[in-house]
Structure 1
Amino acid sequence: MKILYALQGTGNGHLARAQKMLPILENYGELDVFVSGSNSQLSLDDFNFSHHKGLSLFYNQMGKVSYKRILRENSFKSFWNEVKQFPIEKYDVIINDFEPITAHAARKKKKEIIGLSHQASLLFDETPKVKNKAGETIIKYYAPTSSNYGFHFEEYNDSIFLPIIRDKIRALNPKQQDFNLVYLPSYHPNEIIEKLSAIKEANWKVFSPFASESFKQFNVEVYPVDERLFIKSLENCTGVLCGAGFELPAESLFLNKKLFVIPIKGQYEQLCNCEALKRIGVDYSLDLEIDKIQKWVDSSKLVLRDFPDQSEEIIDYIFHHHSLID
């Protein structure tokens, strides 16, 4: 059986999940891995994969989606050429984590394609969402699939599973040291330092894709994104201040870290995630609002969630449900 696992490379969450899923999928047949999009700093360890430019989101360094950069730095002509040229017909099973090239190639050739992503959870009525027609349209048509299975913070539907927590995170021994971890990749470090340095009683370790070297200013340390150092800091921090993506908030909840999220402005998925996290008691703001972050720093409130390892059961369920194995 020839299997294609295609995933989105914009951001780190998809690759973090793939680190857990790929060894399982290898047990079911000959596996090819396809990644499109940029802006990720994670690796896929020892797995070989092909990487294509695809379509990526870009931000304006002030916490907002930059539509000018999206139009300027994406080539839609190249994207559709890749769709036409992709040899989708050679695969028996296609599993897609919100990757648009293989999704549109499969749709064009009328091949069955299984969506297995966090974004897929937003296609179900039961999932917490904000009203945004443009965002709903993007989720539906960006990487269209024949059937959908999603991941979310709660199992809102029978086809929605709890988050996949990679082994590197499950193996940690979390501690509560005197600093908070910050990952807000849509903000420039200068903007973060200006705001967080005002909360003088707290120490901050900021990981930023805009930093080329480490430095410290006031009570804020800034580091380039490095997976090993990031995971070590996640293990030892008291709290996590991050965007309202999916994997990092899920990993933070799993490690019993105090969590505060700021969704990227104009990013529909993150606004929906923020709504879901708000409903389970996670603190949030819609910008770098110091008064709200100060209250979070002063608070000892924890939102506790247990995410058992169901990854093998999920893949087995999907393969049996689609009659891909006996």
Structure 2
Amino acid sequence: MKFLFIVQGEGRGHMTQAMVIGELLLKQGHEIGAVVLGSSTRRRVPDYFLDAFPCPIHRIQSPNFVTDKANKAIKMGATLWDNLKKLPRYTASIRKLDQVVVAEKPDCVLNFYDMLGGIYAMIYPYRSSFVVIGHQYLIYHTDFTFAQPGGIQKQLFKLNTKITCWNASKIIALSLWKPERMSAVKNFSVWPPMVRKSVRTALPYSGDFFLVYIVNSGYAREIFELAKNFPDITIVAFWDAGEMPQKYQPLANLTFHQIDDRLFIEKLSQCKAYLSTAGFESIAEAMYLRKKTLMVPVEGQYEQQCNALDAQKSGAGLGAKNFDPQLLAQLTDSYSSSADSFEQFTEWQHSLESCFAEWMQEMQDSKTPVAK
């Protein structure tokens, strides 16, 4: 079968998911005709993603968050207004996406939580079959817990998720925990996280430093103050600050690195514990490597509040409003109590290939000619 990927480029987790699924598809002899990446000037596309696919990668401009001047908190009002102003650009993006789909004639379009991908499926429902993959779709499972209070942010999160899966013939939700009961939603499945091979083959041990990954570079000031006020704590941090050097060491106990896939996995496997802004995929990778995580959701990003709540429920670590050093001590002291959670997670993650095989069989059984 021939596939085409649409990948939301705002979060690196969606890129990771596409890479893992791509590897499984190619391993079984399927074809990936093209990858369409919804990106913006706010994030640099990592080289490891560009090198992961033996096919063209087309970039389109896709809706994005707007942060405050400190590049820390999400400004929801400004985000809505900025994206409304860019509607002509997004219309051009949908036209470009359609050109790629028409040229490639895929049997299936896999959308990794890109909003324009959902809008495209609504406008052109007969171009192909559409399948969506993402941890956000877990909101459709009965056992999912929403962060409180929800308010307008919760409603916008649910609306965005709904748009991304318009006209989807299959919804695949990713979860840190294995569900004990089926969902009532039609054509809905829950899969374990997409943990990369490079993580699965890493050899973890507990080093003497804390690892930090910050999505928005504005959180660097908070990490700097933590290292400055507690010189006995060693921190290795990764950020996406294009104007800074590859390696930056402002303090003897604090080093910042630009995003580097290989180095990040190496440090994740060696750290004492992991500090994160509650991105789903990196939490899953930390759990696989048996690293407890302190999760501080990006301010104003409701989805990450849900991620932190869900991950804490799964035994991944602790959710917090800031990187509190007292919580770091609590995190490392509670390692033994999380051993069972890590074991259950690993067992659940190892079922990924069987979930994939079951879906592939469903695809083969239901395959019919598609109007182009």
- On whether the aligned pair clears a TM of 0.5, the verdict is yes
Distance in 2 of aligned mates of 1:71 and 1:171: 44
Aligned-residue CA RMSD in angstroms? 2.6
User: How far off its partner does 1:168 sit?
Assistant: 0.7
Task: Write the mapping of 1:67-216 to structure 2, written as runs, cut at 5 A.
Answer: 67=76, 68=78, 71-72=81-82, 75-85=86-96, 86-87=98-99, 88=101, 90-111=105-126, 112-130=129-147, 131=150, 132-146=154-168, 147-156=170-179, 158=182, 159-188=189-218, 189-210=220-241, 212-213=244-245, 214-216=247-249
Letter in structure 2 aligned against 1:15: M
Tell me what 1:248 maps to: 282
- Structure 1 residue 269 and structure 2 residue 303: aligned? yes
Aligned residue type for 2:15: L
Displacement after TM superposition at 1:218 (Å): 4.2
Call closer, same or farther: CA 1:261–1:301 in 2, change over 3 Å: farther
Q: CA deviation at 1:298?
A: 5.4
1:279 equivalent to 2:313? Answer yes
Structure 1 residues 238 and 135, CA gap change in structure 2 (3 angstroms): same
> CA–CA distance in 2 between the matches of 1:42 and 1:69?
27
CA distance in 1, matches of 2:231, 2:135: 36
Instruction: Name the amino acid aligned to 2:62.
Output: G
Q: For the structure 1 residues 145 and 273, does the alpha-carbon distance in structure 2 shift closer, same or farther, using more than 3 Å as the test?
A: farther
- 2:356 corresponding residue in structure 1: 315
Kept in 2, the 8 Å contact 1:2–1:29? The answer is yes
- Equivalent residue of 1:202, what SS? coil
- What are the ranges of 5 or more consecutive residues in structure 1 without an aligned counterpart? none
d(CA) in 2 for partners of 1:144 and 1:54? Answer: 17
Q: Compare 172-181 and 81-90 and name the one that shifted more.
A: 81-90
2:48 — aligned with what? 43
For each residue in 1:206-247, what CA deviation from the matched residue of structure 2 results, as whole angstroms up to 9, or x when unmatched? 111126222221421112222222111112111100011111
Q: TM-score, normalised by structure 2?
A: 0.79
Cα separation, 2, equivalents of 1:288 and 1:59: 20
For structure 2, list consecutive stretches of 5 or more residues without a partner in the other structure.
183-188
- Asked whether the equivalents of residues 209 and 225 of structure 1 are also in contact (C-alpha less than 8 Å), the reply is yes
Which segment is superposed worse, 63-72 or 224-233?
63-72
The secondary structure found in structure 2 opposite 1:122 is helix
1:163 is displaced (CA, Å) by 0.9
Displacement of 1:19 in angstroms is: 2.1
Residue 299 of structure 1, CA deviation = 4.9
3-state SS, counterpart of residue 113 of structure 1: strand
Task: Kindly provide the amino acid, as one letter, of the partner of residue 190 in structure 1.
Answer: R
With structure 1 as the length reference, what TM-score do the two structures score? Answer: 0.89
Say if 2:19 is the partner of 1:19. yes
Deviations 1:4-63 (A, max 9, x none): 122111121111222221122232245322211242536223413222221222433464
User: Hey, what's the Cα distance between the residues in 2 that align with 1:191 and 1:94?
Assistant: 41
Structure 2 CA distance for aligned equivalents of residues 62 and 82 of structure 1 = 26
Aligned counterparts of 1:155 and 1:144: Cα–Cα separation in 2: 25
Give the deviation of 1:182 after TM superposition. 0.3
Q: What residue identity is the alignment partner of 2:214?
A: L
Cα displacement string for residues 246-294 of structure 1 (whole angstroms, at most 9, x for unaligned residues): 1100000100112111111221221111111222332120233444345
Evaluate the alpha carbon distance shift between residue 139 and residue 30 of structure 1 in structure 2; reply closer, same or farther with a 3 A threshold.
closer
